[in-house]
Amino acid sequence: MKVTIDIPDGLWRDAQKLAMREGVTPSALIERGIRRVLSEAKPFKKPSNQPFKLRDGSFKGNGLRPELRDAPWSVIRALAYRD
């Protein structure tokens, strides 16, 4: 595949020099670098056939205070973020 990328001039010159010294093309050098980065990266997760399950994040308590049971979200949010 042909791809156009921007590489800083100094980095490209160094890459060309290294490629010449090693007797490879700049493309081969870039490919080697990409392969190295990919091999060091965390492995890609394979998609799971199981549906997503949200963990239970509830906690012990009695739920909302009685005076907030029918309150709109804006009131509950305002109380949560006050001060």
Q: Are 15 and 21 in contact (CB under 8 A)?
A: no
Name residues of the chain where pLDDT drops below 70.
Answer: none
- The contacts of residue 19 (CB under 8 Å, 6+ apart) are 25, 26, 28, 29
Q: Where are the domains of the chain?
A: 9-40
Per-residue model confidence (pLDDT) at position 32? 95
Per-residue model confidence (pLDDT) at position 2? 87
Q: Are 7 and 15 in contact (CB under 8 A)?
A: yes
Per-residue model confidence (pLDDT) at position 40? 87
**Pairwise CA distance, residues 32 & 6, whole Å:** 18
Per-residue model confidence (pLDDT) at position 12? 95
Q: Helix (H, G, I), strand (E, B), or coil: what is residue 30?
A: helix
Give the residue carrying structure tokens 């080697």. Answer: 32
Per-residue model confidence (pLDDT) at position 29? 94
